[in-house]
């Protein structure tokens, strides 16, 4: 397994929302477990509280992953701090929704790279990007890999303007016909896409443009091997240990 290098390089195996197949997604526990299992890079989703503090959480609403309900963006940081993000898993009965600051602390201590997916609630793109950028400027350790990505093109545009030196990945489900135009517009060095749609010809085209290519969410080892054999640089997986063990053996 060759590890990717250069601008926008993450890792061949990226823990998707942490080791989210074994611990509650996007929690410090899931991220620490991924590090324990040997992952060199993790992916997280980030949005903001009503008082503009960045929190690591996938959905707009709190209902699926926590003991709260309603929109995350309508609750203050103080009230979000009181919630448990264990999805009913009693082994993680005290696991909070992490603030981005806590996750950065962990990743710095463990020397783990990050794909930070900007996940703004619609209409909150400016505030979300600003809050994330402030936190990254003040706390992200230089030297550790960091790539921003987002399905929200407005967020990519804003983060490109705000922190142009941090590499960006265009995040899509299927590769759109105008991918080259979008890559140029936001000066992305990576393309992150849904593995189930990607073809080998598309991969060739992306690689010939010098892009880093990363696919989500790949939990099947044979599919990961196939994608990597095409030249895909890395896969986001919920099971980093299984993937690392299989790809390095």
Residues that bind ligand G3P (CB under 6 A): 16, 43, 45, 58, 117, 149, 171, 192, 216, 236
Nearest residue by C-beta to ligand G3P?
A: 216
Stretch that binds Mg ion, among 48-56, 85-93, 100-108, 113-121 (CB under 5 A): 113-121
Residues shown for the chain: 249
Q: Which does 192 bind (CB under 5 to 8 A by kind): Mg ion, ligand G3P, none?
A: ligand G3P
Minimum CB separation of residue 115 from ligand G3P in Å reads: 6
Rounded least distance, CB 234 to ligand G3P, Å = 11
Minimum separation from the CB atom of position 217 to ligand G3P (A) = 6
Long-range contacts of 85-90 (CB under 8 A, 24+ apart): 85/24, 85/26, 85/27, 85/57, 86/24, 86/27, 87/24, 87/25, 89/23, 89/24
Least distance (Å) between residue 237 CB and Mg ion: 12
| Residues 141, 49: Cα–Cα separation, whole Å | 24
Given ligand G3P, Mg ion, none, residue 160, with its beta carbon under 5 to 8 Å by kind, binds none
Among 117, 158, 206, 227, the residue binding Mg ion under the rule CB under 5 A is 117
DSSP code for 212: E
Smaller CB separation from ligand G3P, 75 or 149 = 149
Q: Per rule CB under 5 A, is residue 125 in the interface with Mg ion? A: no
DSSP letters for 19-78: TTTTS-TTSHHHHHHHHHTT-SEEEEEEEE-TT--EEE-SSSBSTTTSS--SBGGGS-HH
CB of 240 to ligand G3P, least distance (A): 14
Which pairs count as long-range contacts for 181-185, CB under 8 Å and 24+ apart, including other chains? Answer: 182/153, 183/209, 183/211, 185/157
Q: Give me the residues that bind Mg ion (CB under 5 A), please.
A: 45, 117
């Amino acid at each position: 397994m060759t590890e990717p290098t250069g601008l926008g390089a993450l890792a061949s195996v990226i823990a998707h929302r942490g080791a989210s197949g074994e611990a509650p997604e996007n929690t410090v526990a899931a991220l620490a477990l991924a590090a324990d299992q040997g992952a060199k890079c993790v992916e997280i989703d980030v949005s903001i509280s009503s008082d503009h503090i960045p929190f690591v959480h996938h959905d707009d609403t709190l209902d699926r992953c926590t003991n709260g309900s309603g929109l995350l963006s309508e609750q203050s940081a103080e009230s979000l701090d009181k919630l448990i993000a264990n999805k009913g898993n009693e082994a993680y009965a005290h696991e909070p929704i992490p603030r981005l600051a806590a996750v950065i602390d962990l990743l710095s201590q463990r020397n783990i790279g990050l794909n930070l997916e900007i996940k703004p609630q619609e209409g909150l793109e400016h505030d979300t990007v600003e809050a994330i950028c402030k936190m990254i400027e003040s706390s992200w350790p230089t030297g550790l890999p960091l790539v921003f990505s987002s399905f929200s093109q407005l967020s990519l545009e804003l983060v490109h303007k705000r922190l142009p030196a941090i590499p960006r990945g265009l995040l899509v489900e299927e590769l759109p016909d105008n991918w080259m135009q979008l890559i140029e517009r936001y000066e992305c060095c990576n393309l992150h896409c849904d593995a189930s749609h990607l073809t080998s010809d598309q991969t060739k085209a992306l690689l010939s443009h010098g892009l880093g290519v990363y696919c989500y969410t790949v939990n099947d080892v044979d599919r990961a091997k196939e994608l990597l054999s095409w030249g895909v640089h890395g896969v986001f997986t919920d099971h980093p240990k299984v993937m690392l063990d299989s790809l390095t053996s």
